Structure 1
Amino acid sequence: MSRSPRTYELVLLGATGYTGKLTAEWISTNLPSDLKWAIAGRNAKKLQNVVDELTQLCPNHKAPDIETCAIEKDELTILANKTRLLINTVGPFMYYGEPVLAACAENGTHYLDCTGETPWYRDMIDRFDETAKRNSTIVIPQCGLDSVPADMMAFALQKYIRKELNASTLSVIFSLYAVKAGFSGGTTNTAVDLFSHYPLSRVASDMRPFSISPVRPTQPSNPPSASLLYRLFGLNYIPELAGVQTVGLMASIDACMVHRSWGLYQTIAEKSGRADIAYGPRFRFMEYMRAKNIMAGALFRFGVALGGLLLAFPPSRWILTPLIKKFFIPAPGEGPSKETMKKEFMSYRALAIADTDKKEKVLGKMDIAHGGYVITALTLSAAADLILRGDLAATEAGKLGGGILTPATLGEQYLEKLRSFGLNIEVGL
């Protein structure tokens, strides 16, 4: 669709929330100083406070304008038509996300968010994928900690295997190697509310690995085998990933995203005849977290399973949810302090196996000197910078022209942008 001139290149919606403020800071300090942008939300006074903080942080950069906007169709339509791209950090997305995404998809405004709510993501695909395609709108949900590290690591590994070994990728195993990071009230409240908002059967169905992929593999590779002892405790042992592996907290969320990227690239390859861009017909992604030993891994897995079970079924959910919100998690809008965040970090390791007779192994490494919320600000800002100022037409997202896409469809340009912003991904034999 042809786009009328827009007032802004970028609008950040939700800039007064915890993640929104961090994203505003990252945009202000890392995107071009001549960027035409605005921050948006309901409360003009709180937005002005954010602008004042940004002005002190970057006195030589143009301060963002302020746009007041409620989560209401008419106001969102006006806002969407003022900007080329909108970043949405207003969650939970299952409550507030649809009208924002809809306004962007319907009005040709590129869209990024930081949801980790896979059932909501699937709803958006069903309802707005065709609309976004028709209006040439690039829509990339889950462009934060969920699930850029996993999605881009898998993309980088399969690209390396294709280039260096001239082969497809059989599997990618992604592991959280080390972490020191806090959590915010908004994110944890969302996780608790997910089971109340969606039926358990729906959550279980949408968390299956290929639930949001446009295609299914005919014969996906098998998960790595483990000894009886490890299987008894629900663990795995992978020497290349530093040993004992337990359940990853974001494993299901990330697997859905990575397999959507696989499915999109597989579909593009089949339609265009460019077999070299496909991950491979038997590709599978798996995610774990490194444990110190079998006992620690088993206890962690048991705790995660028990917590999920208690939240999944009433009446235990009705009893536990208000107690958890009152005594164990921060209020929405709160999170780690600035001093705490300076000490945070996250490290990942990955193992990819080529789909060849020799089953060659390729290793991946990602060390980030930030916690999850700064990583989300970084990944959103990097994606926005690429879409607005990069060679978008050369990416698969640009070639597709629009739709509900994934971070990996931004391709190697996004990898390089992330590296320049401090999220470094290394791969090699």
Structure 2
Amino acid sequence: MSSKDFDLIVFGATSFTGKLVVEYLDNNYKDTISWALAGRNKEKLEAVKEQLSCDAPILIIDSESQNDIQNALSKTKLVITTVGPYQLYGNLLIEMCAKLGVDYVDLCGEPGWMHEMQKFIPETKKSGSRIVHSCGYDSIPSDLGVFYMQNLAQEKFGESLKEIKCRVVSLKGEFSGGTLASLKATMSKLKTNPDLFQVLINPFALCEGFKGADQPHGNKPYFDEITKEWVAPFFMAPINTKNVHRSNLMLNFPYGEEFIYEEMIPAGKGDEGEKVAKAIASHNPLGNAPKPGEGPSKEVRDAGYYEMLFLGLKDNEIKLKVSVKGQGDPGYSSTSKMITESALCLLNDCSNLEGGIYTTAPAFGFKLIKRLEQNNVMHFSCVN
């Protein structure tokens, strides 16, 4: 990169998650990187600075102003953006990053929009821009959890595992208001673009034309004969599974072209397990989501946690188990740290990564796992 005023800018610094990113940066990295707060409203940005006692400079960016975006991108190496729904507010930013060779990370869980943005892949390769989607709870635990397990399988067995079942064994926290807003935006777009439905239901929608083995639907409770328990659909699985399959593609299929991946919530055994599974399936996880810009208190965020258990199968037997655990509310506290560490990983640890549109495993791999563990964001372990 040529000399720039800033290593990174936080676009959306006045949003609830954006403020958490600013706080994390200011507490941990203000002396090691140069960065700025960015958003549309100067008064709100000043208020964030005052609230957090932060002295980082301010940039004014309207997501619909090409002049604003070009001016900001001329000053920075990388953009962290928390401004969603991305399908409403992210188009021009990602287009200009791709054109101007600026790096970019987001929290996107909108597969339809991510599929559409792949039209910029040729431009990113030409300019050297590294664009990495889904650098939060969706989909880092899933994507890096599978990556970690498959590398462990290669060490232990000399081959990858053809099927992995992910079980969300614990989760305490709230889904963000931004997640709800993104879902509403997608539902609205479906009304005018019914072809989007085929993208949303296709597990290989982000794989640039590749289609692998038939995948579990994951949309209904069922009794798992392998684990001998009832399981229920996991709300984030539709985006997480797509990112995992794209990672497999981008890494040149180390998991195999017939790889099968599923994410579900364990509900228990017997009749009671069936009841619980059906109750989970009928529950709306976004029913109590806060409005965009709002979120839980620090005490509630700090009390959150999550664990995902990955079960590696061969010949219908569990051969390997990997646990991915995180402390803090997954949708806010942990996610704000994940995207920040992703940005810093891209800036500091990935000098050989070529331009393109990435998921987290092919972009970062063990470099990000190391960062997440060292900073006590997330921990990966074999539990066999």
Matched residue, 1:4? 2
Structure 2, gaps ≥5 residues long? none
CA contact (8 A) 1:349 1:365 kept: yes
1:237 deviates by 2.6
Q: Which moved more, 1:359-368 or 1:281-290?
A: 359-368
Matched residue, 2:166? 174
- CA change 1:224–1:76 in 2 (3 A) is closer
Distance 2:316 2:280 in 1: 35
- CA change 1:360–1:176 in 2 (3 A) is closer
Superimposed CA distance per residue, residues 360-380 of structure 1 (whole angstroms, 9 cap, x where no aligned partner): 611011221111211211111
333, 340, 343: which one aligns with 1:374: 333
Superimposed CA distance per residue, residues 140-159 of structure 1 (whole angstroms, 9 cap, x where no aligned partner): 11111111110000110111
| TM-score, normalised by the number of residues in structure 1 | 0.81
231, 250, 256: which one aligns with 1:280: 256
217, 222, 243: which one aligns with 1:257: 243
Distance 1:133 1:161 in 2: 32
Distance 2:27 2:261 in 1: 34
Matched residue, 1:118? 111
1:211 deviates by 1.0
* 2:51 maps to 1:53: yes
Equivalent positions of 1:287-326 (< 5 A) are 287-292=263-268, 293-303=273-283
Distance 1:103 1:154 in 2: 32
368, 390, 402: which one aligns with 2:355: 402
1:359 deviates by 5.8
1:297 deviates by 0.6
1:165 deviates by 1.2
1:29 deviates by 2.2
Distance 1:288 1:261 in 2: 20
- CA change 1:107–1:182 in 2 (3 A) is same
Q: Which moved more, 1:65-74 or 1:82-91?
A: 65-74
Distance 1:421 1:236 in 2: 38
1:32 deviates by 5.8
Q: Which one has a bigger Cα radius of gyration?
A: 1
1:236 deviates by 3.2
Greater percentage in helix:
1
- CA change 1:172–1:31 in 2 (3 A) is farther
1:215 deviates by 5.4
Distance 1:18 1:128 in 2: 29
1:243 deviates by 3.4
Superimposed CA distance per residue, residues 243-295 of structure 1 (whole angstroms, 9 cap, x where no aligned partner): 3311010111101110000111126xxxxxxxxxx222221211111224210
Identity %, equivalent residues: 26
Query: How many residues are matched?
Result: 374
Distance 1:299 1:109 in 2: 46
355, 375, 382: which one aligns with 1:421: 375
Distance 2:154 2:167 in 1: 22
Q: Residue 347 of structure 2: SS of its match in structure 1?
A: helix
Distance 2:195 2:116 in 1: 15
CA contact (8 A) 1:13 1:20 kept: yes
CA contact (8 A) 1:44 1:68 kept: yes
CA contact (8 A) 2:41 2:60 kept: yes
Distance 1:222 1:236 in 2: 17
Matched residue, 1:94? 87
1:301 deviates by 1.5
CA contact (8 A) 2:87 2:185 kept: no
Equivalent positions of 1:340-359 (< 5 A) are 340-354=300-314
* 2:348 maps to 1:389: yes
- CA change 1:244–1:132 in 2 (3 A) is same
Matched residue, 1:148? 140
Q: Residue 172 of structure 1: SS of its match in structure 2?
A: strand
1:14 deviates by 0.2
Structure 1, gaps ≥5 residues long? 57-62, 226-230, 268-277, 309-323
Distance 1:338 1:97 in 2: 28
- CA change 1:44–1:366 in 2 (3 A) is same
Matched residue, 1:132? 124
1:200 deviates by 4.5
Distance 2:217 2:382 in 1: 20
* 2:361 maps to 1:361: no
